[in-house]
Structure 1
Amino acid sequence: MLPEDKTADLRSADDLNNQSQPSASRSGPGRLSPTCPMQVVLVFGLSVAMVGLCVGGAVHLNPAVSMAMVLSLRLRLWRAILYVIGQLLGGVASAALLLGLTGDVTPVLNQVSSGIQLHQAVTMETLVTLQLVLVVMATSDVPLPAVVSPLLVGLAVSLGHLVAVGATGCGMNPARSFGPAVVTLTFNNHWVFWLGPGLGACLAGFLNDLLLRPRWCCPGDWWAELKELYVLSERQPQEALSHLP
């Protein structure tokens, strides 16, 4: 038998040891455990790069990117709407699958961290989305080897998470934020993860086409190309049908 003071010391040592152990060792099987920010950065960046390499070209995974492509007249509105619907459904399906496999999706739920003001969160989401969309548009405009473009986009995703993961979880992609929010029915300040990426996409589209790689000299040129894309292209099939016997 140990003396009472030694027994108490051993118990206190065991309690300290249990408290110092990472939460992953105390979590049940199959449940997600908190990961370090660098793991999150690498997982998101490498996964986006891998998808880009697998499909062998541009892939629309982000409503913010689709929005920027519409504003820059690289994508028709109706096709972008279909893309966004698919992106949102994919986000919900992925979150539901993660919930079924692990029983918990709260670690991937984007929320504004305590101590971060809402305007700061919107600004952060705007900036990280801005740099991502600029990279996507640059890689689509400049001829590059097939392997380079997905890697550059993956690096942009990693950079965004490296900057914003501690503040907002780095939404950057409204579909990625929407899925866990729907599955957990947690929409607290969810508008931040739509407004920020939306502003970033709009700024990136006009910044790229007006300043970095100018396509138009003035807003009137953009308007003329917009009418040509939607109005004239719709009249052409009608004119072709009118000439049929």
Structure 2
Amino acid sequence: MGEKTAHQKIALVTGANKGIGRGIVEQLAALGMTVLVGARDPRRGEETAAAVRAAGGDAHAVTLDVTDQADVQEAAKQVEERFGYLDVLINNAGITGSGQVAPDEAHDQVPSSVDLAMVRAVFETNVFGVIAVTNAMLPLLRRSPAPRVVNVSSHAASLTLTSDPDGPFAVLLPSAAYSPSKSALTALTVQYANELRKDGVLVNAVAPGFVATDSNNHTGFLTAAQGAAAVVRLATLGADGPTAGFFSEEGSVPW
């Protein structure tokens, strides 16, 4: 096979077999990227990749549980051997910790009565998993001419929004697991961005909005495609794009 004249962009999306993750995969593939579909369940990952290929895109399934260090290292090894570099990392995998319930029904997250094991499980995926995957993929990202990392956060990460007694979050129950995990993720985003700024790696967090997904019993009012759009925009930033930011489709989200 002859060498490609143009640089073929490779993107890895975690938690990519459904919801916002799948929307991201579909949109990146439509832009001509080769997309690696990270999924805990190999069968579901392959189903998503096959559907993207059937629609004319280039997608491949990668078995990836972000809380499993062996999975993470194996995924990095597969990307290394097959492509040798990575251009885009979307840390999308996340759990609410409350099962499939709307956020305002998450009684088990109230700080004074929360199960500490549940808090640990949420942070394991939403924070520690992001560190594990990002660090495993960084050597590959450094070989890209325009590396981009996007961490999928939530408006619930915003201390400004959640602390406002008259704001939109005032009607929701306090959360000791999900919301703080996403606040930690945005803080982590800034620290990675600061470290990698000199290397041209742009690292941003995004709040997709209230998207109808399994995690809220599809009570959200945005489609997965709408939620994915902001993520894709940050994944395809030019060299003059922002880093260490927190954005939604409407613009910057307050910290």
Which one has a larger percent helix, Structure 1 or Structure 2? Answer: 1
Higher normalized contact order (CA 8 Å, seq sep 6+, divided by chain length): 1
TM-score, normalised with respect to structure 2: 0.31
TM-score, normalised with respect to structure 1: 0.32
